[in-house]
Structure 1
Amino acid sequence: MSHKDVKSNHEIIDEEDVIENLTDGNDKKRGSQVQDEENSFQQRQIIYTKQIGCLDFRSMVINLGIYTLVLMVTSGLFEGVYISSFFNAVNTALVMLVLNILLKPILIVITLPLTIMTFGLFYVVVNGFLLWMTDYLMGPSFEINSFGLAILASVFISLLRMAINHYILKEDSLKINM
């Protein structure tokens, strides 16, 4: 299954199709088609898209920047959320990043029955708890007035991060010349 990317005028091919063509297609192409292709030498380019992994250094730097931006916007929009300076916003984003990498998977596994019973809504409470814990760890440089506001701010942060990831940042792509 392939489709044309409107912005870059490249053909985007699904990973399964590429693997299938490489394994099954090589046996079928052997014969007269190989000679025709050698004579008409056309270079094809396959673009394979992939998502950035969470423990990739580049991804962590990008997430740190996104968290910093989102925290500053959140503190500007919500009266009960306070960040004292840009430097403290970066430090808060770093603490949130570390908590999301280390503690969030454990909390998700522990609260999985509640998350299933609430059809995924308890996941919002887990995010709010991590934001509340960030408030506790950062001290007076990052303040949230109540746990309810932490849950509301975590929903806003999640939606804003999702919008930034979807509309501003694009997936990395790997170009293969064939």
Structure 2
Amino acid sequence: MKFWVRILINTVLFMALAGFLRSSFYVASPWVALLASVVLSLLNALVKPFLVVLSLPITVVTLGLFSIVINGVMLQLTSMLVGNDFHFNSFGTALLVAILMSLCNAVISNYVGHGRRSN
């Protein structure tokens, strides 16, 4: 259940960020955003661990900031797999979207899924 909530949150974030960054980030429809969200989650599960291990030395040297670059690479891979209906004008835009999505996901994850338990 938590997986699908994250997929829907990322879908909404893709649509919102595409609206804010109209000239540099394009999403054709909500269905394309949903597809991109699913593809991104699959890439994060299958490819990202290898990239993290390969880039571990530079990530340590930059005190973890290189992980933002890895997130930008994952978004660019998603763009390549989804096609022309989901694309960035530059890698800098992908980095900006990666930073904004990370911030939004951090804020949203504090409120989603932390319902009060009754003992």
- Assess same fold via TM > 0.5: yes
Give me the whole-angstrom Cα distance separating, in 2, the residues matched to 1:112 and 1:172.
Answer: 35
The counterpart of 1:124, out of the listed 68, 82, 85, is 68
User: Partner residue of 1:85?
Assistant: 29
User: Partner residue of 2:16?
Assistant: 73
**Same amino acid, percent of matched pairs:** 33
Aligned ranges 1:16-35 → 2 under 5 Å? none
Give me the whole-angstrom Cα distance separating, in 2, the residues matched to 1:106 and 1:67.
Answer: 22
2:84 counterpart of 1:143: no
Which SS does the other structure have where 2:113 is aligned?
A: coil
Give me the whole-angstrom Cα distance separating, in 1, the residues matched to 2:27 and 2:96.
Answer: 17
Aligned partners of 2:11 and 2:34 also within 8 Å? yes
Scaled by the length of structure 2, the TM-score of the pair is: 0.92
Which SS does the other structure have where 1:116 is aligned?
A: helix
Q: Which has the higher helix share?
A: 2
Shift of 1:174: 5.7
Give me the whole-angstrom Cα distance separating, in 1, the residues matched to 2:100 and 2:118.
Answer: 35
Unaligned runs of 5+ in 1: 1-57
Shift of 1:171: 2.5
Matched positions, count? 118
Unaligned runs of 5+ in 2: none
Shift of 1:164: 1.1
Give me the whole-angstrom Cα distance separating, in 2, the residues matched to 1:139 and 1:93.
Answer: 13
Aligned partners of 2:43 and 2:74 also within 8 Å? yes
In our comparison, the structure showing a higher alpha carbon Rg is 1
Give me the whole-angstrom Cα distance separating, in 2, the residues matched to 1:170 and 1:94.
Answer: 20
CA RMSD of superposed structures (Å): 1.4
Which SS does the other structure have where 1:171 is aligned?
A: coil
Scaled by the length of structure 1, the TM-score of the pair is: 0.63
Give me the whole-angstrom Cα distance separating, in 1, the residues matched to 2:48 and 2:20.
Answer: 25
